[in-house]
Amino acid sequence: MENLLNLKAQKKLGRKHIKSFASGIAFKFSASCYHYAWLAYKNQIRNVSINLFTIEIKPEIFNIERNRILADMLRETLLECIKKLAPPANIISAFLKLEFGIDEFIETENGMKIGMSFFTAELFDDRGKKWSVTHIEKTTLLNP
């Protein structure tokens, strides 16, 4: 029985799970994106991109330590997911594309918010297939 449990624990996942990895990364980012959102609103920059392997964040104004920490956490999550893939499946590039709803500013008793924002994780496998998931937030809190 113990050997059967070990075999199940070591079972590798197929390519179809890459989309789930993308979904998890987009959702995880959305739960912690408050400072990115603040910078987007403050600088009136709608679009941001993050290379999840190199932690290159563009535009450069977003490339600060606080934001790199979150990007690095997402990279670690991605690397753990990659370890679960059955060979020869692999993810060769990964990006997070952000579109903040900076045109709408909402002030509530719970804080400042911006409008609808889109967080898209794009993962590319070793065959060149793009696996993409977009997480949508109706409003996003701002944290200066």
CB-neighbour burial class of residue 53 (10 A; exposed 0-12, middle 13-18, buried 19+): middle
Q: Per-residue pLDDT for 9 more than 60?
A: no
pLDDT of residue 132: 98
Residue-wise pLDDT for 42-87, tens only, equals: 999 999 999 999 999 999 999 999 999 999 999 999 999 999 999 9
CA distances from residue 71 to 5, 10, 15, 26, 102 in whole angstroms, order as listed: 34, 28, 23, 11, 21
Asked if residue 74 lies in contact with residue 28, where contact means CB atoms within 8 angstroms, the answer is yes
Q: What is the mean pLDDT of the chain?
A: 92
Asked if residue 38 lies in contact with residue 143, where contact means CB atoms within 8 angstroms, the answer is yes
Question: Rounded to an integer, what distance in angstroms lies between the CA atom of residue 95 and that of residue 56?
Answer: 10
Task: Enter the pTM of the model.
Answer: 0.88
pLDDT of residue 36: 96
Question: Rounded to an integer, what distance in angstroms lies between the CA atom of residue 59 and that of residue 76?
Answer: 22
Q: Per-residue pLDDT for 10 more than 90?
A: no
pLDDT of residue 55: 97
Residue-wise pLDDT for 78-127, tens only, equals: 999 999 999 999 999 999 999 999 999 999 888 899 999 999 999 999 99
Residue-wise pLDDT for 14-39, tens only, equals: 999 999 999 999 999 999 999 999 99
Asked if residue 114 lies in contact with residue 102, where contact means CB atoms within 8 angstroms, the answer is yes
pLDDT of residue 4: 52
pLDDT of residue 5: 52
pLDDT of residue 1: 54
